[in-house]
Structure 1
Amino acid sequence: MGLIDCLFIADDRNLAIFEHVVNSPAPTFQYVKDRLNSMRKDDFEDSGSSKSVFDNLEPVLDIDANWRVAWTKLDAVYVIVAGETFPEYTEVVSDNEDDEEEDADDATEQKQTVTISRTVSDLQYLQFLTDFGTVVKSFLNGAVLSPAKVELNAHNLLLILQEMLDASFPYLTDLNQLQELLPSNSIFNKIISTTKQIQGTASSSINSLAQGSSLLHASSSASSLASNNFQKGVLPASCIYEKSGNEIPWRKVNVKHTQNEMLVDLVERISWIVPASKSPKPAYGASTYYNLGLSAKKNKPVLATIDGTVYFNSSLSGVPTIQLVLNLNRHDLGVPSFHRCVDTGIWSSNPGVVQFIPPDDKFTLMKYKINLLETESPVNIWNYMGLVDVELIGGLGVERNEFEIKLQAKLLNTVKFIEDLKVEIHVPKDHTVRGLRITHGDLQSRNSVQEWVFDKMLPTGINCTFRGQLLRSGGDPSTFKPDFVTVSYSNKGSVPSLIKVDSMKIISGGSTNVKPYKGVKYVTQTNNIMHR
């Protein structure tokens, strides 16, 4: 009984193009497809149909009382795994050995039966499928996985699965370890090409003798070389027939770089939902077109969160231990999600200090979430809303059938431009927007959505105003105002939480002769900013 007893890869015509049985007995692809077909709610035509059997199905499901199936789409193919279903509870019988030693003459054995749960999380299947897809894409140099590509690289897929699975359970899933254990695709191509040349230039009998002699000679030479290296204290390189002994599986062994550098990208995505403001009293004789400032009194948002991600790009020789110190700006990040290379004990005792041995590439070091509405210390949440502030006001004009969107791009020394700024205007059904006065940008219609679009790079420190009104389907003005507006933009040089990197240094390991280059980049992005 295992988590993954077989793996299939199918095309969009529901035909199997790769099969690998990890443990017998295992269901066939035809049986799995038939069971999935019977579970679909809509009609399904067989392999001649362009509709996949996996459409409208859950990613993990039991196809019968014995088998559980999980699937995912990877580029142009479907990857399916199947394993036996685990019983919900299992009885474990334990012998009381201490009592047996004390009462050796007592023939009655004291046994205790305990019932334990054996539930398996669906995330285990989905995580393996994700890891498998990452590894396969890496070994194929990022190529799009098509049915033809799968058939051409079936030998690579087989070797990958031999290492990733052990006794029907995920074993080695780290990309760095697998790259050490498995030969590259270029080596396979060279072996296959050489073999074809030998077969084409010699007869089968002579070729058999020649191959036998060369294999014996190569085996003898390899054994002699390995023995000599071992006696000299030189450890053999990792190969496919032995598991990697690397104590740091996420980092390659013997990493060397001519230019050492470590780069940090701190990216935060803001989400805001601000309720509607009360319409102001009409002020006759004054033009609000020249009143570009936002209202001093603002409604408290019903949602105010910041999702942060710290990316780290390491190009360092050796096995360095890095200490990254963050200035949290009085924010309580709770328990962030860390990469497994991070020493979480140091963070627990000293929040803001991240100590780790990095992988040799760009990776996600940590993720965190800040809920500004649940902060214990009193803070002004408007200080953490980002550089763009928006306000929607309705009921303007003499007949109170106009609305106004005010936008303010705050001035900050570290930020020069606001990038890709746009405001989507969501209106009631059968209504359109007519622009009356616009200080910056232009009103555009895309996919039935009205957008107030600005230049690609908008300077900071300016106020923008859009004055308009809603028109009914017949063209008559309406007293309604837009239901809400959404804002999207990005900027470099700051993050809304004002979290900063105080220091970044190598505290042990690494190259002592080379001073690494250090770089930090701050990026703000929008996730969902809505003003009603």
Structure 2
Amino acid sequence: MALQHLTTVIRPCASSPIASEWILAACKRQQSTFRRTRKAFKIKPDPSFAPTKTEARDHIIFNPPSSLPNVYHTPSKFLPPNDPRRAAHAFASTTNLASGTSTATQTTIAVEPKRNVRLPKALHVSTKAYNVTPEQVEEIRKLRTEDPIYWTRVRLAEKFNCSSFFIGLCAKSKIAGERQAASLEAIKARWGRKRTEAREERAERGKLWEYTSSMAAIEALYIFDEHNNLIVSHKYISTATPASIILALYLAHPAPRPSLLYLPTLSPPSIVHSTVQDNLLFLSPSSQDTEPLAVLEFLHRVADALEEFVGSPLLAAKITANYDIVAQVVGEIADGGMPCQSEANALRDVVETGPGVLNNLLGNLGIQGSAPSLSSGPSMLQHPQLQSLSSQGSAVPWRRSNVRHTSNEMYVDIVEEINAILAPSGRPLSGFANGSIAFTSKVSGVPDLLLTLSTGGKGAGMGNRGQQLRTVMEHVVFHPCVRLSRWKSEGVMSFVPPDGRFMLCGYEVDLLGPDIPLTTSKPARQLNLPVNVEITTSLGQSGNEFEVRVLAPSLSGKSAAQASLQSHMGSRPGNFRTGSSGDSKSPAVDKLAVRVPIPARVRNVSELRASTGEAHWSPVEGYVEWRLTSKDIGPSATLRCTLQGPLSDEDDAGNGTVLNSMTSTQYEYDEDESYQTSAQDVKSPVTEPQIPRAERYRMLMPTAALLSFSTKGWLASGLKVESLLLDHKSSRGVGADVKPYKGVKYLTVSRDGVEARC
């Protein structure tokens, strides 16, 4: 009865509000990721945990804490072994038990335990047996040396009754090792191209990423809004430093704050990794020796994943309104501090989205959520099928499973950003282009694609296509889907793309080449930009004017980019034109702007005379900006500006400066002199040296002009997409008659990247 009553007491009540919470905590115990927790939610609890209908609904659970031992519990604990009081206590306890009578004091006296009583037998008994003698070890080595083919480790272990691991330690055979290595090489020789490339890429990426136990040190993720309020806090390990302490120490560092900040005052000392995106602050502390770039890349992947699910730009209101989805993303993107799923396609297979995420999770536990609507019946019937499909996962980590599209399309967008410096003579001093290849895949199934690029004549004579491309494209970085072995050997990009838009490749191009002359005696290679800018200073009668000229000449067929376009299209490309749309045959120049930084001593730019476009002077920012629309761009355009320097004795009657529309005069004084002085001791105002006006205006002239533009249909590097093929044999789920639509776009931009000095 006592055991039955105890079972009744510890069972939760059906009407108790903590029943569901208790079951939820039991399911979540020992779970490290939200995915495993969601699977545990689907398991129905054992019937013994649920209350029965016949049991009473009101119970009192009494669980008093354990008390400290006292002299009544152990009366003979500190008595000597031969003390007569030990026998007295034992006799009193035996008498009370035999008579069945007891008092309040006597019931607390425990029976003296019997001595020399054997403990019960152990459940798992292990006895160590050293049954191999030194003589047997010598015999093992002798047999292993004489015939290693017959006397293998398994046979020797069976003969001498020991483990094969021990045989390998005491008698290692070099011949057997070489034989085993040859057997493995024979197996590898039978591998196909795909398996060989997969194993090579696995080894290569393992060296780059180095997933070791020490790198599982992403301890926590904290996200703060623009007012430094904590909106997301997720700890991957229990010993992570709290967010309040990390934020206080981070803000105590003077701005600008670096991406890596060492905090020696913490225990243990930690490094805080930080990044800012859309005014949201991402922090991740680490108290172990980790790879900083890996943690920073993890923060960027988290931001990209959140943009994928809640939309761009990232706002604090979006994150708080979709916290159920954010919690799933943060829980799935790392497991116990180890980044595991960072691709958007893989996350979409495991992250549930929609209005009824929490209701679906709580409904599997029998907890009532919101009242279901009449239209929720069919969707609830289809939900388990979708879950079963998504739970299987995809064989390709970066591509979601069961991709279906009504129309199959593929788009390649190559974007390059120019950064160049031109001398006053027009000679290029430096020229670089940072490029990126964005790929959009909307193909059903699992397609296997092959992208081939051409250099347009650059790198000729450098070997095969791969060597030529590596000569032009420097510091190349790829998406994990690209097979590196094909790129190194053949110079092509073979990959299974993720579904949707992603960044396939990033690179850098030296527009002047490695053989740029260091002296002016040899002519330098021209950049052949679609738009050039020239600036001339110290013009006008007083020398206080400067002129900016924009030239948009048509490129000749001598450039590498034009040669590439001409060779692959069969006809000479047309001149650059203006407009919002352009192609490789007729590139279009748009969004043309010139910014001229003005020295801080310039008081005003009184006149701005532009032949076309709009120009304005920003005294706060300190520059003159000239914008030309697509309609205003012609063969040439000019802008002439007049500067006004600080007031001088030649410009005004008084000698002073202007402050709040008032003229103030500066006098020199001596602190040691008396307050009242005679009229003869008054010093004259300080006057500037008598410098010619033209020379003073020359010191106020700008030193450079920054050019910005956008060109569609042209690349500064001369790269071009030669072909984009779909390998039907290697693809899965793609019909033989499927011919996706293909589109290619080229775009070259300059965001104040072309600097023309004067």
Q: Taking structure 1 as the reference length, what is the TM-score of the superposition? A: 0.71
**What letter matches 1:407 in structure 2?**
V
Deviates more, 1:339-348 or 1:254-263: 339-348
Tell me the SS of whatever aligns to 1:487.
Answer: strand
* Mapped partners of 2:295, 2:638: distance in 1: 51
- Structure with greater Cα Rg: 2
Comparing 451-460 and 479-488, the one that deviates more: 451-460
Listed one character per residue, the Cα deviations across residues 30-85 of structure 1 (whole Å, up to 9, x for unaligned) are 44345446x435xxxxxxxxxxxxx6543333332523333334546543333332
Change in Cα spacing, 1:76 to 1:435, as seen in structure 2 (3 Å) is closer
State the shift of 1:521 in Å. 1.2
| Cα distance, 1:314 vs structure 2 | 1.3
* Separation in 1, partners of 2:414, 2:399: 22
Where 1:489 maps in the other structure, the secondary structure is strand
Match of 2:239 in 1: 25
Range with greater deviation from structure 2 (173-182 or 129-138): 129-138
Q: CA deviation at 1:525?
A: 0.5
Q: Secondary structure at 1:179's aligned position in 2?
A: helix
Equivalent pairs: percent with the same residue?
27
Indicate which of 483, 507, 523 corresponds to 2:727.
507
**Could you tell me how far apart the structure 1 residues matched to 2:447 and 2:524 are?**
39
Pairwise CA distance, 1:358? 1.4
**Aligned equivalent of 2:441, options 314, 336, 344:** 314
CA contact (8 A) 2:511 2:717 kept: no
Q: How does 1:13-412 map to 2 (within 5 A)?
A: 14-36=228-250, 39-41=252-254, 56-63=256-263, 64-66=266-268, 67-75=270-278, 77-86=280-289, 120-142=290-312, 144-146=314-316, 149-188=318-357, 191=360, 198=368, 236-239=388-391, 244=393, 246-277=394-425, 298=426, 300-329=427-456, 330-331=458-459, 332-351=472-491, 353-376=492-515, 383-396=526-539, 402-411=545-554
Contact 1:317–1:511 under 8 Å retained in 2 = no
- The answer on whether the counterparts of 1:392 and 1:485 sit within 8 Å (CA) in structure 2 is yes
Q: Is the 8 A contact 2:237 2:337 kept in 1?
A: yes
- Which residue number in structure 1 is paired with residue 220 of structure 2? 6
Native 8 Å contact 1:274 1:303 kept in 2: yes
Q: Does 2:754 match 1:529?
A: yes
CA 1:30 to 1:454, structure 2 compared with 1: closer, same or farther past 3 Å? closer
- The Cα shift of 1:16 comes to 3.8
1:229-282 CA distance string (max 9 Å, x none)? xxxxxx94233xx7x3x33211122212111111111211111111224xxxxx
In structure 2, stretches of 5+ residues that fail to align are 1-213, 373-380, 460-471, 556-573, 579-588, 652-692
- Cα distance change of structure 1 residues 399 and 261 upon mapping to structure 2, 3 Å threshold: same
* Cα RMSD after superposing both structures: 3.6
**Counterparts of 2:371 and 2:539, CA distance in 1:** 90
| Of 577, 586, 601, the match for 1:416 | 577
Highest RCO, 1 vs 2 (Cα 8 Å, sep ≥ 6): 1
- C-alpha distance in 2, partners of 1:14/1:465? 48
The 3-state SS of whatever aligns with 1:320 is coil
What secondary structure is seen at the aligned counterpart in 2 of 1:237? Answer: helix
| Alpha-carbon distance in structure 1 between the residues aligned to 2:550 and 2:537 | 15
Mark the CA change 1:18 to 1:305 in structure 2 (over 3 Å): closer, same or farther: closer
Q: Call closer, same or farther: CA 1:488–1:74 in 2, change over 3 Å.
A: closer
Quick one: which amino acid aligns to residue 330 of structure 2? L
Letter paired with 1:471: Q
Contact conserved, 2:597 with 2:623, CA < 8 A, in 1?
A: yes
Distance 1:75 1:153 in 2: 17
Paired amino acid for 2:508 = K
- Structure 2 Cα separation of the partners of residues 424 and 372 of structure 1: 23
Change (3 A) 1:485 1:56: closer
Counterpart of 2:740 in structure 1 is 516
Structure-2 change in CA distance of 1:360 and 1:384 (3 Å): farther
Map Cα deviations across residues 281-304 of structure 1 (whole Å, 9 max, x no partner).
xxxxxxxxxxxxxxxxx4x32221
SS at match of 1:32: helix
Q: Distance in 1 between matches of 2:277 and 2:333?
A: 18
Superposed displacement of residue 485, structure 1: 0.9
Matched residue, 2:703: 483
Please say if residues 420 and 755 of structure 2, whose CA atoms lie closer than 8 Å, have aligned partners that are also in contact.
Answer: yes
Q: Deviations over 1:89-140 (max 9, x none)?
A: xxxxxxxxxxxxxxxxxxxxxxxxxxxxxxx222222111111122223222
What is the alpha-carbon distance in structure 1 between the residues aligned to residue 698 and residue 323 of structure 2?
65
CA distance in 2, matches of 1:8, 1:34: 13
C-alpha distance in structure 1 between counterparts of 2:706 and 2:473, whole Å: 27
In the alignment, residue 40 of structure 1 is paired with which amino acid? H
The alignment covers a number of residue pairs equal to: 430
Q: Cα distance 1:376–1:506, how it changes in 2: closer, same or farther (>3 A)?
A: farther
Are the counterparts in 2 of residues 402 and 479 from structure 1 also a CA contact under 8 Å? no
SS at match of 1:336: strand
In structure 2, C-alpha distance between the alignment counterparts of 1:454 and 1:269, rounded to whole Å: 20
The 8 Å contact of residues 489 and 526 in structure 1, kept in 2 or not, is answered as: yes
Q: What is the CA deviation profile of residues 349-368 of structure 1, one whole-angstrom value per residue up to 9, with x for unaligned ones?
A: 233x3222211111222122
Q: 1:325 to 1:14 in 2, by over 3 A?
A: closer
Measure how far apart 1:409 and its partner are.
0.7
Is the CA contact (8 Å cut-off) linking 2:324 and 2:358 kept in structure 1? no
For 1:369-427, what per-residue CA distance to the aligned partner results, in whole angstroms no more than 9, with x for missing partners? 11233434999865534200122233556776654333211236264212121212223
1:336, 1:367 within 8 Å by CA — same for their partners in 2? yes
Instruction: Give the 3 Å change call, closer, same or farther, for CA 346–77 of structure 1 in structure 2.
Output: closer
Question: Closer, same or farther in 2 for the Cα pair 1:262/1:354, shift >3 Å?
Answer: same
Tell me the amino acid that sits aligned with residue 237 of structure 1: L
Question: CA 1:192–1:76 in 2, change beyond 3 Å: closer, same or farther?
Answer: farther
CA 1:427/1:156 → structure 2, altered by over 3 Å: closer, same or farther? closer
Measure how far apart 1:328 and its partner are: 0.8
Aligned residue for 1:272, secondary structure, equals strand
- Any conservation in 2 of the 1:306–1:497 contact (CA below 8 Å)? yes
Go from structure 1 to structure 2 and tell me whether the alpha carbon gap of 1:9 and 1:472 turns closer, same or farther (over 3 Å shift): closer
**Gap change, CA 1:144 and 1:416, over 3 Å in 2:** same
Structure 1 window deviating more from structure 2 (359-368 vs 439-448): it is 439-448
- Structure with the higher fraction of residues in strand conformation: 1
Residues 194 and 350 of structure 1, relative CA distance in 2, 3 Å threshold: closer
What's the secondary structure of 2:326's corresponding residue? helix
Structure 2 vs 1, CA of residues 427 and 164 (structure 1 numbering), >3 Å: closer, same or farther? closer
Contact 1:321 1:356 survives alignment (8 Å): yes
The 1-side partners of 2:475 and 2:282 are apart by 34
Contact 1:268 1:496 in 2 (8 A): yes
CA contact (8 A) 1:264 1:312 kept: yes
Cα deviation for residue 514 of structure 1 reads 2.8
Give yes or no for contact 2:447–2:496 (8 Å, CA) kept in 1. yes
Task: Identify if the C-alpha distance between structure 1 residues 175 and 381 changes in structure 2 by more than 3 Å, giving closer, same or farther.
Answer: farther
